[in-house]
Amino acid sequence: VGPDPTGGGTSLPGIECVSASLMRGAAYAERPFEILRAARDEAPLLWDDSRAAWIVTRYDDVLDVLRDNVKFSNRVKQRTLGIVFGQAGTMSSMDGKDHVDRRKIIAPELMGRRLGDFLPLIEANARGLVDEFSGRGRVDLLGEFATRLPLRVMIDMLGFPKDDEVRLRNWHNRMFWALGSTGDALREGIEAHEELAHYAEPLIVDRTACSREDLVSKIIHSQVADHQQGVEEMQGLVSQVLTAGSETTARAIASMWFNLLSSPGQLEMLEDDPSLWDHAFSETLRHDPPIPENLREVVEVVEIHGRRLWPGEAIYVSLLSANHDEKVFKDPERFDIHRPDLRFARELRLAGLDEGGRSGHLAFGAGSHFCIGFELARAEATIASKVLLETLRSPRLASDRRPILTPASRLAAMDSLVVEFDAR
């Protein structure tokens, strides 16, 4: 199944027809936003032959799919996340009551007052890392800071010993790069989960017998009566939380600093008013969502743009394209921490337009699977960035090492972010 080729030329010079293959080739690496715009304008529902899946690119269509977990199921993720983390503990691949039961055990621990118990860990870890390079005048902000901070915070939150950071990073990396992969990378990820599960088991057993202040204890002794976490489920949850929350937040921090250091005048505004870090974080997630797309499975016959989609078909929603939809965000390629059309406050699970006439970015998804770590990620990025800006004077991108960026897949593309500064 697939749409008929449209033919007849497109708004893209030199390109006859907008197709999903355009979203992979060399042209996409050079001008991703032009290609995504043409897709939104001329072929808002595309068939991707190589992945045997549909793709939607407009903000409204992406939102409709994400908000409707009855017609569009997450069970397709049993084939990706479920294989790596084990089916028992992977809330991302569940629907309906099973999903709600798993989610309500952990989500409240990562929000509001209860998240507040963990916030001092963020500042302490950020200061510890900054101390390692603050006298040096040069740092790889991605490798030495952004990728280390969220993992360290999660290690502390879960209650693992800090000394095990290197082992935990190794398991994290292997699981992260296995998601959506096949072959050796997938095998590596499954093995890493098994090793981590074996390592975590004594801690889970200990916290079951005797509750402490860490996240594992809080989840095990949660008052949610409908569902009791077993050891295997806890092992899956530990792997999922460690993986979901680290690289994503790391890339958000690095992208935010890259955007600020390459957009004249914006960092100065933050020096004058640190409350604007919340704006910088929201605008970064809009401009560069760390996860550029998300997958669902069609479970009821649905019609999108005149085309019938059948149960069992896979559909990708492009979060990157939705966040750059000019019908929602004017001049979308511009990074602007004062953008009037973006919601800057705490994200809303339903996303879309708020009562103030601003729309939410979709980097955390929307609807029932909306990211449970959204407040934690925001707290990590903003607290850590305040610590950085307090310590590093006149930070600037190192002239000899500009990061290689493909905006369409920044998560995979940025290999380092070398920054120079004057020590305070």
- Tell which one of 32, 86, 332, 373 touches ligand HEM (CB under 6 A): 373
Cβ proximity to ligand HEM: between 290 and 395 the closer is: 290
369 is a contact residue toward ligand HEM (CB under 6 A) = yes
Instruction: Tell me the closest approach of the beta carbon of residue 10 to ligand HEM, in angstroms.
Output: 29
Asked if 189 is part of the footprint of ligand HEM (rule: CB under 6 A), the reply reads no
Judged by CB, which is closer to ligand HEM: 20, or 351? 351
CA distances from 234 to 67, 86, 110, 169, 271 (A): 27, 11, 16, 19, 42
Structure-block tokens of residue 225: 């009566």
Of 82, 290, 292, 403, which lies in the binding site for ligand HEM, with binding defined by CB under 6 A? 290
Per CB under 6 A, 146 contacts ligand HEM: no
Residue from 235, 249, 255, 391 binding ligand HEM (CB under 6 A): 249
Q: What is the helix (H) or strand (E) element at residue 256, kind and residue range? A: helix 231-262
For residue 171, give the nearest of 150, 195, 148 by alpha carbon: 195
Considering only 32, 82, 89, 365, the residue that binds ligand HEM (CB under 6 A) is 365
Candidate list 86, 189, 236, 245; residue touching ligand HEM; CB under 6 A: 245
Cβ at position 378, least distance to ligand HEM in Å: 8
Q: Is 110 in the site for ligand HEM (CB under 6 A)?
A: yes
376 part of the interface to ligand HEM, by CB under 6 A:
yes
Question: ∠ CA(407), CA(413), CA(416), 5° rounding?
Answer: 115
Q: Find where tokens 């250091």 sit.
A: 261
Stretch in the footprint of ligand HEM (CB under 6 A) among 17-25, 163-171, 342-350, 357-365: 357-365
Nearest residue (CB) to ligand HEM, 19 versus 74: 74
320 binding ligand HEM? (CB under 6 A): no
53 strand-pairing partners: 48, 314
Return the range that interacts with ligand HEM (CB under 6 A); candidates 1-9, 188-196, 201-209, 362-370: 362-370
- Alpha carbon 264 to chain centroid, angstroms: 26
CA 171 to chain centre: 19
Q: Which residues contact 153 (CB under 8 A, 6 or more apart)?
A: 118, 121, 122, 125, 376, 380
Segment interacting with ligand HEM (CB under 6 A) among 29-37, 127-135, 236-244, 387-395: 236-244
Identified binder of ligand HEM from the candidate list 175, 252, 267, 276, rule CB under 6 A: 252
Q: According to the binding rule CB under 6 A, does residue 147 interact with ligand HEM? A: no
3-state secondary structure 100-118: HHHHHHHHHHHCHHHHHCC
Number of residues binding to ligand HEM, judged by CB under 6 A: 24
What gap in Å lies between CA 191 and CA 27, rounded to an integer? 37
Q: How far is CA 212 from CA 160, 257, 373, in A?
A: 12, 36, 21
Strand residues in 334-417 grouped as ranges (E): 392-397
C-alpha to C-alpha distance for 215 and 416, rounded to whole angstroms: 31
- Alpha-carbon span 190 to 75, nearest angstrom: 19
d(C-alpha 62, C-alpha 296), whole Å = 11
Contact between 73 and ligand HEM by CB under 6 A: the answer reads: no
Out of 19, 80, 92, 217, which residue is the one contacting ligand HEM (CB under 6 A)?
A: 92
User: Is residue 372 a contact residue for ligand HEM (CB under 6 A)?
Assistant: yes
Whose Cβ is closer to ligand HEM: residue 171's or residue 364's?
364
DSSP character for 409?
A: G
**Closest to 80 measured CA to CA, from 235, 169, 185:** 185
Smallest gap from Cβ 394 to ligand HEM, in A, equals: 27
Binds ligand HEM (CB under 6 A): choice among 40, 103, 174, 218: 103
Q: Binding ligand HEM by CB under 6 A: which of 240, 318, 321, 359?
A: 240
Binding region for ligand HEM (CB under 6 A): 74, 91-92, 103, 110, 240-241, 244-245, 248-249, 252, 290-291, 294, 363-365, 369, 371-373, 376-377
